[in-house]
Structure 1
């Protein structure tokens, strides 16, 4: 493909991503994968170049642009090499016309930037949310050691404060490696590993992973427990939960029971576990502001109304978790968000309506933030998280 054809491809992809973000459709990486699957003529260099153009444009623009062309024109205004590809050639974009709409660069929509600032983040910390994410893996200690993995990946670097964590060059083909296929490693951000460890899961415990998804944190809990005890992993998303068992099998984990829940009927489906859990992990559905390094178009999806719905769902899940913890047991509350509405404010509200419960700030996790702790890309080099541990009376 010519440079101009790559630019036109990026414009087409951005058009699809803008519409999907507006209408709540598939994520950018899904749309990009589908686009390439139907265009076999695009070689590996073309794919890398097009993907880079798309994500560079997304990271540049805080507000959702009017079109893919407006987005690429914003990028072209800063990069003459891209501007030159608007040449009107076959398969390339039309030449730039005077007065054409150009998207405006920014860190995030104004209301969302203000909310992050009210949550204690300055401009440098907000900008770091859009850095490129590293490639982190978790060594599955049920299968081997860090030394075993480093023998297979000589470029792997230990991650400070993350005993089972290693950082690899971003282009490492991890998921095609024998170490991954054999269950020795899992791809997992260092921050995700830290907040999973904050739960304090130990051998012999009964643990409920209330929003398990595909099981990334579930498997980390199982390793911390030495595959000894019981983990009930639940979710309302059938497709995601179905991915857990094959992953558990590959990782040598045998203590996990997956349980699909109907939305709004979670309490009845978990009635047999009321007051039974040593640890309830709630990796709650959230705005994902802490994951913009991986999903920068998420800034274009979030609205006031969606945030309000998420906050209401989170409060309901916290109250459900409280019914599952045994006396003296704990809830570990995790959101991959840096908005106080989903983190510290949720904990304050929970403590106000649940007499006898108390908050414990997890040690050695990021920076203390009110009743919990916070991890940020700027300070910790990880995705953004808020984590708090709540102790039952």
Structure 2
């Protein structure tokens, strides 16, 4: 493909992504992957270049652009070193020339209403702009099978603030390593590792991962417990939860029980655990503002009404998780959001409504205080954005 043809292809893919974001259809990754599958003539270099153009344009636009062409013009303006403007040359398979007065899409960090919410949470200017950078590649050495200090890997990594974390060069093919296939390492962002460490799960405890998803944090908890104790993973998403078993097998992690929850009926499914858990981790569903570097299109898909629904769900999950904890036990609340209404504000409201709970210090080697917890940000901590808070039941 010619460079101009790559640009035109990216424009057409962006048109589809914009329509999908407005109608909440397929995500950008799937749209791009489906195009590659249907157009085998595009070689590996073409695919790489097209993908870079598509996601570069998404990052360059704040609000949802009017068209893929406007988005690409915004990328051309924001990244002049890419020399994209001359490729609008009207050549065969290339984009039409830029018309006089034709304007690019608007820049910024997010749609206006969402930028206002971020600013109200002290996520503005450089802090907000860092949300659209490129995410690093982090791994966690699985302490059930190896140790960071002695494990020799095909690629040397930079030690992270987490106990077993390493940062590798972007693009490192970790999943092709024997060490990955044998469960010695897991791909996991440093922030995700640290919020697991905040719970300080110990051998012999009864620990519940209430929103386990595909089990990344469950595996970290199993390693922290040394496979000694009772570890329960629960979630409402059957598809994601089904991925935990093969991951646990590879990691040599012992998960005592996996519980598929029926939305709205979680208490009934967890009744036998009421008041018995030493520790509960609530990695609550959220807006994902802290992970925009990995999924920049999420800014375009979030709606005010959906944010309100998530805030209500988080409050409900806190109540459910709290009911599982024994007297003297602890609860960690985590979101990969940087909005206070999902983080510090949410947890402060929980503490205000539950007099039998008291906040505990969050002992992790990163982040800054935020409300009763700590907040990690891409700019300050060079990792995904998280809020994490810890409390003990009287």
Q: SS state of the match for residue 227, structure 1?
A: coil
Verify the 8 A CA contact 2:231 2:254 in the aligned structure 1. no
Structure 1 residue 127 and structure 2 residue 113: aligned? Answer: no
Match of 1:163 in 2: 163
Match of 2:217 in 1: 217
Verify the 8 A CA contact 2:57 2:71 in the aligned structure 1. yes
Verify the 8 A CA contact 1:132 1:293 in the aligned structure 2. yes
Over the aligned positions, Cα root-mean-square deviation in angstroms equals: 1.3
Structure 1 residue 354 and structure 2 residue 354: aligned? Answer: yes
Once the two structures are TM-superposed, the CA of residue 209 in structure 1 deviates from its matched residue by 0.6
Once the two structures are TM-superposed, the CA of residue 101 in structure 1 deviates from its matched residue by 4.7
Verify the 8 A CA contact 2:181 2:250 in the aligned structure 1. yes
Verify the 8 A CA contact 1:330 1:390 in the aligned structure 2. yes
How many residues align structurally?
391
Match of 2:383 in 1: 382
For 1:328 and 1:310, the matched residues in 2 are separated by 29
Of 110, 113, 126, the match for 1:111: 113
Match of 1:203 in 2: 203
Once the two structures are TM-superposed, the CA of residue 29 in structure 1 deviates from its matched residue by 2.0
For 1:256 and 1:181, the matched residues in 2 are separated by 23
For 1:359 and 1:28, the matched residues in 2 are separated by 40
Q: How does 1:8-157 map to 2 (within 5 A)?
A: 8-78=8-78, 79=80, 81-149=83-151, 151-157=152-158
Offset from partner CA, 1:341-374 (integer Å, 9 cap, x none):
0011111111121122111130234111111000
For 1:105 and 1:93, the matched residues in 2 are separated by 21
Once the two structures are TM-superposed, the CA of residue 83 in structure 1 deviates from its matched residue by 1.1
For 1:146 and 1:43, the matched residues in 2 are separated by 38
For 2:139 and 2:4, the matched residues in 1 are separated by 37
Verify the 8 A CA contact 2:345 2:371 in the aligned structure 1. no
Match of 1:282 in 2: 282
Once the two structures are TM-superposed, the CA of residue 297 in structure 1 deviates from its matched residue by 1.0
Q: Which moved more, 1:195-204 or 1:106-115?
A: 106-115
Q: SS state of the match for residue 326, structure 1?
A: strand
Large movers: runs of 4+ above 4 Å: none
For 1:133 and 1:34, the matched residues in 2 are separated by 23
Verify the 8 A CA contact 1:228 1:255 in the aligned structure 2. no
Q: TM-score, normalised by structure 1?
A: 0.96
Q: TM-score, normalised by structure 2?
A: 0.96
For 2:99 and 2:124, the matched residues in 1 are separated by 37
Offset from partner CA, 1:277-326 (integer Å, 9 cap, x none):
11110000000000011111111111211110100010010010111111
Verify the 8 A CA contact 2:155 2:168 in the aligned structure 1. no
Match of 1:306 in 2: 306
Match of 1:372 in 2: 373
Q: SS state of the match for residue 198, structure 1?
A: helix
Q: SS state of the match for residue 329, structure 1?
A: strand
- Which consecutive residues of structure 1, in runs of 5 or more, have no partner in the other structure? none
Q: Which moved more, 1:52-61 or 1:212-221?
A: 52-61
Once the two structures are TM-superposed, the CA of residue 155 in structure 1 deviates from its matched residue by 2.8
Offset from partner CA, 1:58-95 (integer Å, 9 cap, x none):
11111011111110111123437211111222221222
- Which consecutive residues of structure 2, in runs of 5 or more, have no partner in the other structure? none
Q: Which moved more, 1:356-365 or 1:327-336?
A: 356-365
Q: Which moved more, 1:301-310 or 1:31-40?
A: 31-40
Once the two structures are TM-superposed, the CA of residue 181 in structure 1 deviates from its matched residue by 0.9
Offset from partner CA, 1:174-209 (integer Å, 9 cap, x none):
112111111111100001000011011011111111
Q: Which moved more, 1:127-136 or 1:354-363?
A: 354-363
